[in-house]
Amino acid sequence: MKPLLLHGHATSPNPLKIAIACQYLQLLYEIKIWDFGPDPLRGVKGEEFAKISPNGRVPALDDPNTGVVVWESGAIMNYLKRQYDKDNILGPNGPTPQDQADLDQWEYLLLTTLAPMTGQNVWFRYYNTEKNEDAIKRYTKQVYRCYDVLEAQLKRSGGLSILPGGITSVDCHYEPWIRPAKYAGLTGENYPQLEKWLEFMAEQQPVIDAYQSIKDATALQDPEAAARGLQPDLNLIHEAQADAAKG
């Protein structure tokens, strides 16, 4: 099998989900690191990336074995499962229509709500040109509301996976969004189940290897981003907020 090509970014959560899934499925993959600017060759808003995805966002996946190119992390995850998960490593954890529906609903909650709310929270904290406390408050509240729902689910599921019965693609979707909560100005203090799950996930070899693969690719392809880590990109951030972020 030829390696898959994952189009990713130094620190973004969405490509990480796909790297984690590839690790669980033991798929060979290479990573191309893009930045968020309009650079024709390196930027997700540039010409080269537009040939891969009209949506100008990562992740995208290129599978030379089938010729399939796919973007949107939910669609990529589903493609990987259809194409490469014949042993049902990534779930659902049971054979019934309810098992599949459970998996779908938790993935959709992440894709449609938790991730976009967290993303907006980060945007208004670091990148919006004007300070907007109302927006920060609103999105923070929405993320915590999702955390409440997740906390209760982890109590029901036994705590080490979002669905009862072991790690599935659902956990791959959530992990990279929950891990950087602190950077998004959020705390796990009131969410002991969530913290426990996150610690457990961080110990899983496929998760460790996925993070390492993005780190290694970034160190080689975008050393500036590697040095910056989770700090906001000062090239993109509004000047007034850049001063605050530096301080």
Binding site for ligand GSH (CB under 6 A): 9, 12-14, 36, 44, 57-59, 72-74, 111
Closest distance of CB 114 from ligand GSH, Å: 11
**Kindly report the CA angle at 22 between 16 and 23, in degrees rounded to 5?**
90
Radius of gyration, CA atoms only, the chain: 18
DSSP 181-205: GGTTT---TT-HHHHHHHHHHHT-H
Closest distance of CB 46 from ligand GSH, Å: 11
**Euclidean distance between CA atoms 42 and 53, whole angstroms:** 14
Q: Which letter, b or e, does each residue of 144-163 get, where b requires 16 or more Cβ atoms within 10 Å of its Cβ?
A: bebbeebbebbeebebbbbb
**Kindly report the CA angle at 65 between 62 and 67, in degrees rounded to 5?**
55
Closest distance of CB 15 from ligand GSH, Å: 7
Closest distance of CB 111 from ligand GSH, Å: 6
Which is closer to ligand GSH, CB of 50 or CB of 160?
50
Which is closer to ligand GSH, CB of 44 or CB of 162?
44
Which is closer to ligand GSH, CB of 14 or CB of 193?
14
Which is closer to ligand GSH, CB of 48 or CB of 72?
72
